[in-house]
Amino acid sequence: MKHSPILRTAGIVFTITSILGILISIVGIGFVWLIRPKTQNSLIDTLDTINDTLHTTNESVMVMGNVIDLTKTNILTIETTIDNLDETLISVSDSLDTSAVLLGDDLRQTIMETQTALSSASTSAKIIDNTLVFLASVPFIGVEYQPDVPLHTSLEQVAANLDDIPDSLESMELTLSAAADGLNTFNTDLSQLSLDISEFKEDLSDAQVLLEEYHVIIENTEEKLINLRENIGLYSILSCTIISLFLFWMLITHFSIFLQGWHYLTGEPKVIKLSDLKRIKDHNSNQTQEEHLD
């Protein structure tokens, strides 16, 4: 009994596609095992390249860590120097304030009081000079008094020479006060700089921790790559075996499709019962006996 044209067409399609699938499966299995050595070598070269890159990166990370350590040491030295300078400037500023008060107030007041005392002494000295001059002019007393510069004149000159000193001391007071204020401002800037350096040092510490984490990650990755490289042969065999089993399963599937298509092409098989087989066998046996009798 023959199938309809539609089933015959389906049988042709199934047969052709199944044959192609079987051929592709067979070729695929062979191709997988054929390219396995080359693929394995390529993977080994790639792993070696990646491992070298990670090793170089790891060395760079270690160098950066050493640079950060050196930088932290230098920053610590700078920070200590700034702190010492800060303390020194505070002492200098206090000394300048004290000196300004001493020069502008105490010493200036002392000079002014000295001028007043000299002026008073000059007045008294003038009386004494006049007395001594009078006594020197009297005969038979024996007093000799002929100074080049009278005492009261000398005292007046000394007092006059002190006139500019209070103003100079006041000017020095203003200058020292301005210097002290400038040092205080500079000291404030130094304190801010010290704070910024401390924050920068903390950032360096955070960066160092991050670099250590990268170092650990890179070392773990290198160990995994080394382990993968050592077992790449086993992994490639397992991979090819899995792919081959899949292709073999596809081959069996396509073979089943081929049988189905072949069934559509050759017609529907007849079902033969056991009684029919026995009848055919007896018939063949009788024919054989008749031929022998003839």
Tell me how far apart the alpha carbons of residues 157 and 115 are, in angstroms, rounded to a whole number. 10
By C-alpha distance, which of 197, 190, 210 is closest to 73?
197
- pTM value surpassing 0.75: no
CA distances from 83 to 70, 87, 115, 246 (A): 20, 6, 46, 75
The per-residue pLDDT for 135 is 57
Tell me how far apart the alpha carbons of residues 18 and 258 are, in angstroms, rounded to a whole number. 5
Residue that is written with structure tokens 């199944």 in the block: 18
* Tens-binned pLDDT, residue by residue, of the chain (294 aa): 445 677 777 777 878 888 888 898 899 889 989 988 898 898 889 888 988 888 888 888 888 888 888 887 887 887 788 777 777 777 777 776 777 667 666 666 777 777 677 677 767 666 766 665 655 565 655 555 556 666 667 767 766 766 777 777 677 777 777 777 777 787 777 777 778 878 877 887 888 888 888 888 888 888 888 888 888 889 889 999 999 999 889 888 888 888 877 877 776 544 444 455 455 556 556 555 555 555
> 3-state DSSP call for residue 275?
helix
Two tokens, residue 59: 């060395």
The per-residue pLDDT for 286 is 59
Cβ–Cβ < 8 Å for 72, 207: no
Domains of the chain: 5-293 (1.10.287)
Tell me how far apart the alpha carbons of residues 294 and 291 are, in angstroms, rounded to a whole number. 5
The per-residue pLDDT for 243 is 92
What's the pLDDT tens digit per position in 65-76? 888 888 878 878
DSSP string, 60-95: HHHHHHHHHHHHHHHHHHHHHHHHHHHHHHHHHHHH
User: CA angle, 106 as apex, 101 and 107 as ends, to 5°?
Assistant: 105
